[in-house]
Structure 1
Amino acid sequence: MNNLFKIPARSPHSLTSLTELESRLRSLIGLEFKLTGKSRTDGSNNRKLIAKTLEDYPFPEPAFDDAYEIVPPKKKGIPKIVREFIDTYIVTSGKSYNLQVWNRIPASQTLLIKYESGESLKCNDVRFVMTKVDIETQKISCVIIATPGYIVAKFGAFGKPTIKHQLLISSKSRQKIYDSEDKIMFFQDSKKLSYLIRHDFEPPKSNMVEEAKSNEILAIDLIKKMVAEKLIGFKLAADSTKNRGQSLERKVLELLGYDPSNSDLLYGAYPDIPNQLLEVKVQDAQTVDLGKFSPEKEESINAELNITTFDIRYLIALTNPNTEIIEGIILSPGEKLGEVFSYVSDQSYKCQRSIPMDIFEKYRGLVVVNPD
């Protein structure tokens, strides 16, 4: 993407109008768009396509270096195409589209860019460009340009921010795991949990979503032998990060002796497999999304057994992004992760709003702005 897009417009009034954006993006309709099934890759390709399309037209005049200030620390919440104050989204299939906005409250008056002139660009000034791609034809069928205010008025308020914790696994650490004899980085259970576990396998007596019980929790070294060692070389379903995670969860449940047919609706809370105090993650990049809970900070998870985030066992499958094959495993209690890896210091969060897919079908073949 052209680096000029990273410089803000000279003034909020310099931004290309919504009606002009509508006209400029009409050439996207019917254009071929090959979906990879990887949300980050497809999202990046969509953003580059929109930026490239806008390059065919005059840019808004850029702001001088000393004429503006980026307000949020580390530029968090600033839209990706800063010059036009645009964030881009790709829409594919399903009954609804889950619009996720990172690190800002979308329809708020919170400052993002402050100008020396006294003018400003706020969260509610960001323009959303949502590109609908048909899975069957692999072509763009609709583009909706929307403002945060319109989305709230039309579909309802965004949900409260969901805090996202992240763990950073360096390329050096990842390579060290790949080069090890069994390709597994392993740590024993926490001292507290060591009094509650069993070291011999017995088929599960409870459903995977039931609370863990003393002497029914498999020791982490048994999980290593039964699960981690057998996952090396396993190929995950590759259509999306979410589905790869569910594929891994089902495989782990199967290896632990649970009935995979009972896991059609996976738990979706913390930890993923509460009956075994096991959190399961798939990662093909440097950062691991930890979700609502992070072992960086000790928090109570199971009051009856006095279990905290430090005691929860983490199984992190390191996959090859090109083949989706698991090439390494991290299996560790939460308390040990911070001794080897780094936590991202600033929390990221997202606000979400569900948008019915019907609206993209209603305006098939069109580029529209804040449609009725």
Structure 2
Amino acid sequence: MQRTPATLVLENGSVYRGTAFGHIGEAAGEVVFNTSHTGYQEILTDPSYAGQMVVMTYPLIGNYGITPNDNESSKIWASAFIVREASNIYSNHEASGSLDDALKNAGVMGLAGIDTRKLVREIRQMGAMRGVISTVDQDEASLKAKALSIPEMSGQDLAGTVTTEKNYTLETPGARYHVAAFDYGIKTNILRLLQNAGCRVTVLRAKATTEEVLALNPDGVFLSNGPGDPAAVEYAIRTIRELAEYSRTSRPLPIFGICLGHQLLSLALGATTYKLKFGHHGSNHPVKNMQSKRIEITSQNHGFAVSMDSLPDTVEMTHLNLYDQTVEGIRHSELPCFSVQYHPEAAPGPHDSHYLFDEFTAMMDRAKN
């Protein structure tokens, strides 16, 4: 592994010096941390990380390599990857290459050898900050100026930058349902679990219209995860509001949202969102199901949340984050709409919340009768 000096400078002027791996050059983005012990490949290829540099809190990363079946999309979306130690060797019978090679091939920078504990503490205290990593510019003042020039995450519509270019359909043998799935940055395992639940899935561009959805005559609508500020995705909010109203005026059309999809559904139903200080990123977050009273250990990746105080009387909070008491799930009292902030598809993460896909198919069954 090549050892090239690299420097990370945050927008507040903090400096972290280490060595580069993967691509050599310069990278910029919002710096966030993830508390998962494993799953770095799924994290890197999650489109929800577009525009962000990911710090792993677990100290040794890369020791099981890269495996062909673990990608959550067709490319690495994180703008950079920051670790304490990047393993020089990997051991896994399914691995096809190293983390270093994967980053090189994708043109994505990695930074190793810094005190990630200190960096994570700083992010927790100060909040997620913009930063620049460079091997070509070692001037701290220059790098700070570059960091300050990066657009802030608030106000950015990134769903339109990660969505599919063309609509497409995933056929499922013996499918009982047809689901129209909006791709705001959809993960592969979400599509896999929808298919496992008996759904034929038509994946739609983020800007697909209400008319396009209704022309498919679907049994249900799925709203995917994705990056950026949900309030900035105004076209999606408008379309979701129209689809929810269709359930009121025409026929029941179940809607299920995950992560950004949860935030967009909440906005469409009349709630508001806000930016979290440093977000929720990891596979070990406890969430309380307010109906069953059971605690689910969940996988999370989001920098914005739905304001609890803004929920309309017709919208019930169904799940609660036990770390900071934020909204983790909602359900409409009159319309067949529900969503969760966390990732029940668990890629990476625990499987506690797979039942939500069954709830979606049960809602579609009721809508048919």
Instruction: Sort the TM-score into its range (normalised by shorter chain).
Output: under 0.3
- Structure number with higher relative contact order (C-alpha < 8 Å, ≥ 6 residues apart): 1
Q: Higher strand share goes to which structure?
A: 2
Structure label with greater radius of gyration: 1
